[in-house]
Amino acid sequence: MKRKELLFTAILFISVTMTQATNPFLSKLNTPFETAPFDKIKNADYEPAFEEGMKRHNKEIDEITNNTQAPTFVNTIEALEHSGELLSFVSSVFFNLNSAESNDEMMDISQKISPKLTEHSNNINLNEKLFARVKAVYDQREKLGLTTEQKKLTENTFDSFEKNGANLSEKDKETFRKLSTDLSQATLNFGQNVLKETNNYTLLLTDKGELAGLPSDVVDAAAMKAKKKEQTGWIFDLSAPSYIAFMKYAERRDLREKLYHAYNSKGMNGNEYDNRENLKQIAKLRMEIAQLMGYPDYATYALKNRMAKNETNVYDLLNKLLDAYKPVAKQEYAAVQGFAIGSENKNITVMPWDWSFYSEKLKDSKYDLNDEMLRPYFELENVKKGVFGLATELYGLTFKKNSKIPVYHAEVEAFEVYDAKKKFIAVLYTDFHPRSGKRNGAWMTEFRGQKVEHGKEQRPQVSIVMNFTRPTESKPALLSYDEVNTFLHEFGHSLHGMLTECTYESLSGTSVYRDFVELPSQVMENWLSEKEFLDRFAFHYKTGEKMPAELIQKIKDADNFNIAYFSVRQLNFGFLDMAWHTLKTPYTGDAVTFETEACKKTQIMPIVEGVAISPAFSHIFAGGYAAGYYSYKWAEVLDADAFSVFKEKGIFNKEVANSFRENILKKGGTEDPMVLYKRFRGQEPTIDALLKRTGVK
């Protein structure tokens, strides 16, 4: 080699070495519990880390496929399971932050890297030599003396290859590559469009009279928003605390209507963020992938590995619940309508922008109860103690804040979690308030999952992300009842992630069927209206007094207020999701017209022109709930049935809690969920407990 070439090679080697040394993803993790070094990660680190992660993953795949020994569980299935560790870690950090703390640069990176990741995934799933080895082990799985978990991993691995085109012809594999790449890009664009539309809208009010009806802390929060934007007045936006409060309390009906239209026309404003054509393309691409695999539609393709199994069972549940709830929902709407007419002393038709406003007033009139009466007892720090304390009571967990664990934003807190024997269980991150870089909603996720590899256990690093009411200049963060409920819900997901005890990461924690994953989250919501639980943390933020017994009784009395209407609304989302994903030919018409037809049977209120759910329905068009939104109702049947055992034996009963932990939370996706549920409950669930809980039966 010439001297000049040697010099160039040396410079290149030094450059690569320096890059790897300075890139926190490619260096040894010198952080507590090997947590993500958020304080060192820069946007420029992501692409090199992704490239290196894919490079290492490809090398690991080559080692499996080039193995001259006969395929075994260890050298094929287990080796594949343990491959791609760096890529998985980088992806978890990047995509979690792209939801919780994003910016324009990260969105641009996601646009560049997503097609590469899809191509990388396709190269693995469509690798014939690799699939041949997987199939060889799968075909012999009953004769290999595998454990239950090993057998489940083998079956899941084979199913994943099959579902992702491994059995297709060469021509069809190329078609699959293009369809999956296009789908990845379309869903990414959908989510980014929704976030940008959400962030771009503000309602600036400058006349104090326009604030009539709004509680002082809501007004203070709006003033803070205006001040941050160097505006004079009060700013309301489409973040959950701002939007929900305005719709509940603002007396100016015209302004409620204006904000309602802004919220419900996201993704359909004829601008660069319009999602109407995009969502039809997503539905079409999913349909084409399913049909390429030999299924009539995407729902049939997706439901194969769900508790529901098929469309018939999904529609059976949705229709049964609709039959039970719709007549009651109509009565609830009529009651709100009658109250509105009486309170306004004139004939008024309750429209969607009126529903929260008059519902809240009717609830207050009927039960002498509203959110503002409860907020003083739900100061965020006390709520955290209560929610964490519930896990202590049920499962013996303790939570120790660790400020030395790096976090991705100053508002995020990190906790070490230990069990009753002082054994380290997990790291839990909490992120409570809305920001411009955070998408709407609430969710639980992981930066690292739980697994055991070469005798060493990796415990999970779990995060719960929400958009709760912020503190103001004069008050701490005082949550609404619904926000506390959401906290419990997401915390339930985190318990599923933290208490898992599996061998393989792809089976651990929340890696379960989509219509089973909501059971551990939704069951936690049941404690919120229980006096025994509220007595432990619901203290007035000024006086320290317990929430009065009569106020707790009002919560119990109002527990099912308008429950049928909200149930029908959830069913509406389920029917709409199924309509888009049971298409057998591409839909080329108007997306809003399609939605109107799909939602016809769940319609309670008058139809409003110019608004729709679909163009901003991120759960199904940008998230993992395609042909799966029904799972919230499916899991609601499970959670009502499961909590009935706690109600029967005591809501803090250690025996019941231990059974739920051992049979549900601990097991992840290592066995069929119905087997796990029956092991806990002793029988299959019925809808009876749910109907009884909601007062319909």
Just list the catalytic residues.
490
The CA distance from 563 to 236, in Å, is: 28
Helix (H, G, I), strand (E, B) or coil at 398: strand
What does the alpha-carbon distance between residue 441 and residue 240 come to, in Å, rounded to a whole number?
7
**Cβ neighbours of residue 344 closer than 8 Å, sequence gap 6 or more:** none
For residues 433 and 477, what is the distance between their CA atoms, to the nearest angstrom?
9
SS3 379: strand
Q: What does the alpha-carbon distance between residue 17 and residue 11 come to, in Å, rounded to a whole number?
A: 10
Give the DSSP letter of residue 290. H
CA distance 641 to 647: 10
- Size (the chain), residues: 697
Q: Is the dihedral of CA 465, 467, 469, 471 positive or negative?
A: positive
The SS3 assignment for 443 reads strand
Strands, DSSP E only, in 406-553?
413-418, 424-431, 443-448, 451-453, 456-458, 461-465
CB 524 within 8 A of CB 660: no
| Closest-CA residue to 244 (of 228, 260, 226, 258) | 260
Give SS3 for 411: coil
The neighbour count for residue 462, using CB atoms within 10 Å, is: 30
SS3 346: coil
Listed in sequence order, the DSSP H helices in 140-275 are 148-163, 170-200, 216-228, 240-249, 253-264
The C-alpha angle 19, 20, 22, rounded to 5 degrees, equals: 65
Backbone φ/ψ region at 517: left (φ over 0), alpha (ψ -120 to 50), beta: alpha
Phi, psi dihedral angles at 30 (to 5 degrees):
-95, 55
Contact criterion met (CB below 8 Å) for 464 and 444: yes
How far apart are the C-alpha atoms of 455 and 418, rounded to whole Å? 21
Taking 3-state DSSP, the helix, strand and coil percentages for the chain, each rounded to the nearest 5, stand at: 60, 5, 30
Q: Which residues contact 210 (CB under 8 A, 6 or more apart)?
A: 252, 255
Contacts of 551 (CB under 8 A, 6+ apart): 369, 373, 374, 377
Which one-letter amino acid corresponds to residue 294? G
Q: 665: which DSSP letter? A: I
Helix, strand or coil for residue 598?
helix
Contacts of 106 (CB under 8 A, 6+ apart): 43, 46, 94, 97, 98
